[in-house]
A and B are shown apart, each in its own frame.
Chain A
C-alpha cells in the first residue's frame, strides 16, 4: 500500500502573484491546500516608529509609501487625523480637490487590482488595458504634484498648492471615458465562462466571519455587509455627494469583483459631482502656526522665509490628546491613531492598514481549495505589502 506525504511549499517572497513580498507557507496534499500561513515583514520600514521622531509635516511623505497604489488616500487619512487633533477647518476648495483625488486614487487602485487579479487568473489583456487607463491617473498625479506615485500633495490644513487650470478638463475627460473602458473589461471577464468558473464559489467568507476577522472595504461588502465609511461615517465632505454602495450576496470572488467594478463607476460619479461644486478660492487654511506660508512669500520676503524655516524645522506643537480617523481606502478602512503629548511629534502613531487585517482571512478563504484558487484569493483580497509591513 502506497503512503502519501504532505508537501510543504514555500510560496514567495519572490513569486509572480504574491503581490510584492508576501510569503506563504503552504501545506499541500497534492495541490489541495491544507494550511496556508502568511509570513510578513519583508517590506518593514518602521513607519510607525519613524513618525515618533518626525514633526507632523515630516511624517506625511512616509504615508505615501504605505499603500503605494493609493498614495493620496493615505495622505488623506493622515492629514484628516492631524486636523482632527488640531481641530482646524480647511478651505472648501481644498476639501473638494482632496475628494476628487481620493476618488481618482480609488480608480487607480482598483485598476491595478483588476489588472493583477485578471493576470493571476491568466487574462493578460485586461492587465494591459487597465494599466493603460491607470496611466491617465498617474499623469493627473504628475500634473498636480510633480510625482507619479509618491505624490505628497496634501498638507495639514489644505493642499501644498492649487491645481493647474488644465486639471479640471483632464479629470472630467477621464471620468467621462472611464465607464466605457469598464465595459471593455467587463466584456472580457464578466460573462466569460472560464472567468466565472474560476471566481464563482471561490474564496467564500460569510458575513459573520468577515466581521469577526475585521475585514473591511470591498472584501467586506462582497460578503453582503453594507458598510462604507464614506457614507456611514462621512469625512472630507463625502456627505455632500450622491453615490451607491454596492453589496454582494454570495460572498465569493466574483461578487467582490462585481462590487469593485460598481465602486469604480460610482467613483466616476462622485468625481463629476465634486468637479461641479469646485469653486475658486484658497487651498490652504490661514493658520500661520501650523501651515506653511505661500511660496511667493518664502522666495520674496525675509519674514516668509523665516516662517517657512520655523514650520519646516520645528513643526508645530499639537494639543495633548488622542484621535482616531478612519477613511475608506480602496482596500478597506485605513485608520490613523495618534497620541500626542503636546509636543511637535506624535508620541505614538498607530496605523490600521486594511490589507494587514484582510490578509488574516487568507487561510480561511483558501483552505481545501487548490493553488490556482489561492492565487485568485490573493488577488481578490487586493493586498499591498507596503501597508501590511509598514
Chain B
C-alpha cells in the first residue's frame, strides 16, 4: 500500500493536533493541580494572571525560558544537557499507541484516532516507561551533586520496585482481550470495562503508575524535604521545565493508559468518544492530585517492600485467578 498525499497530510495533521493538545493539557494540568490543591487546602491558588489565572502557564513558560540555563562547572556537560529531553520524550512517545477516540471518516477514508496502532502496543508502553527512568538517573548522575545522585539512585530503586508489578497487572488485561494491541483492548471493553472483571489489577496498576509518575506518596526521587529537589536539584530554566512538564505529560499519558486498559477507553454513552476519553483520563489525573492533597510520603525502602512483597505476589495470584476463571469460562 502506498500512502497518498492525503494520507500523509491527515497523519501529519493528527500528529500536530495530538502534540499540541498534549503539551497544552500538560501546561494546564499544572494550573489545575495548583487550583485543585488550593481548593483542598482552603486557599486561593494562582488566580492573578488572566481570568481565573488561566494565563498562568504562559507566564510560567516565559519565566522558565528567560531564566539562566545554569550548568554546574563539575557537571558532565553533554549528559547534563541531554537528560531533560530523555525524560520528556518517552512520555510523549507513549501517547502514540493510545487510541483516544472511535475511528472517524474523512473524505471517504477511515481514520483511526491514534498515531500508531502497534500490535505490541502494551510492550511498547512498558519499554518506554523503562527508558524514561534514564533521563532521571543520568540527570542525577551528570549534575555531580550528591543530592542529585541520591535522587537518581532512588529513581532507579523505585523503577525496579514498581515496574514488575505494573507489567504483571497488565497480563490479565491481555488475557481478557487476547491481544497486545491497545485498539483491540479498547474494542474488547465496548460493553463492560475491564475494571469490573479486574479490580485488583486496576488497583495494582494505579499504585504502580503513581510511582511511575513520581507523585506523592511515591515522589521519592525528588522528595523536597529530604533531597532538596532530588535529581533535578541542579537544573534551572527550561531544562528544569522539561523535567517538570515531562512529569505532567506522564500523568496525562498514564491517565490515558489507565483509561485504555481498565476504564473502557473511549467507550461511553451519549457523549462523543473523544470527550469520554478525556473525562476518564482527567479523572485519573484528578485522583493523583487528590492523593497529593491527602497523603504523606513513603520511604524508598518501604516502597520497595510494597512493590516486591505485596504488589508483585498479588499480581501473580491475580494472573493465576484470571487464568483459572478463563479456563472455567471456556469449558
Report A's interface with B, CB cutoff 8 A: 7, 9, 15-17, 30-31, 118-125, 128-129, 132, 188-189, 192, 194-195, 197-198, 370-373, 375
> Contact partner of B295 among A31, A122, A372, CB < 8 A?
A122
Binding-face segment, B39-47, B48-56, B93-101, B262-270: B39-47
Q: Does B227 contact A (CB under 8 A)?
A: yes
- Complex contacts, B219 vs chain A, CB 8 Å: 122
List residues of B (270-291) whose CB comes within 8 Å of A's CBs. Answer: none
Question: Which of B118-126, B132-140, B297-305 forms contacts with chain A?
Answer: B297-305
Query: In this assembly, does B178 line the interface, its C-beta being within 8 Å of a C-beta of chain A?
Result: no
Is the pair B297, A194 in contact by a Cβ cutoff of 8 Å?
A: yes
Is B223 a contact of A372 with CB atoms below 8 Å? yes
Q: Which A residues touch B37, using CB under 8 A?
A: 124
- A129–B42 Cα gap in the complex (Å)? 8
CB distance from A278 to the nearest CB of B (A): 32
A197 touching B225, Cβ below 8 Å: no
Contact at B228–A15, with CB atoms within 8 Å? yes
A198→B295 CA distance, assembly (Å): 12
B295 engages A192 (CB within 8 Å): yes
Q: CB of B146 within 8 A of chain A?
A: yes
- Could you tell me the distance in whole angstroms from the C-beta of B234 to the nearest C-beta in chain A? 14
- Min distance, Cβ A273 to any Cβ of chain B, angstroms: 30
B41 and A197 within 8 A (CB): no
A371 contacts B226, C-beta separation under 8 Å: yes
Q: Say which residue of B147, B225, B295 sits within 8 Å of A375 (CB atoms).
A: B225
Would you call A195 and B296 a contact (CB within 8 A)? yes
Judge whether A194 and B298 touch: CB under 8 Å. yes
- With CB as the reference atom, state the residue of chain B lying closest to A14: B228
When distances are taken between beta carbons in the complex, the residues of chain A under 8 Å from B301 are 370
Whether a CB of chain A sits under 8 angstroms from the CB of B91 is: no
Cβ-defined contact, A121 with B297, below 8 A: yes
Are B228 and A198 touching (Cβ within 8 A)? no
- List, in ascending order, chain A residues with CB within 8 A of B241's CB: none
Question: Are B228 and A16 neighbours in the complex by a CB distance under 8 Å?
Answer: yes
B216 adjacent to chain A (CB < 8 Å)? yes
**CA A238 – CA B224 in complex, angstroms?**
41
List 20 extra interface pairs beyond A118-B296, A192-B295, CB under 8 A. A15-B228, A16-B225, A30-B153, A31-B300, A122-B217, A122-B295, A123-B295, A124-B37, A125-B41, A128-B43, A129-B41, A188-B294, A194-B296, A194-B298, A198-B302, A370-B300, A370-B301, A371-B227, A372-B299, A373-B299
Least CB distance from B300 to A in Å reads: 7
- Complex Cα distance, B225 from A345, in Å, reads 43
Q: Residues of B contacting A129 with CB < 8 Å?
A: 41-42
B226: chain A residues at CB < 8 Å are 17, 120, 371-372, 375
Which of B147, B227, B296 has the most chain A CB atoms closer than 10 A to its own CB? B296
* Contact (Cβ within 8 A) A372 B300: yes
For A125, the chain B residues whose CB sits under 8 A away are 40-41, 293-294
| Closest chain B CB from A191 CB (angstroms) | 12
Alpha-carbon gap, A185 to B153, bound state (A): 33
* Contact assessment for A16 and B293 in the assembled complex, using a CB-CB cutoff below 8 Å: no
- Give B306's nearest chain A residue, CB to CB: A197
In whole angstroms, what is the CA distance A190 to B268 when docked? 40
Contact residues in A for B30 (Cβ distance below 8 Å): none
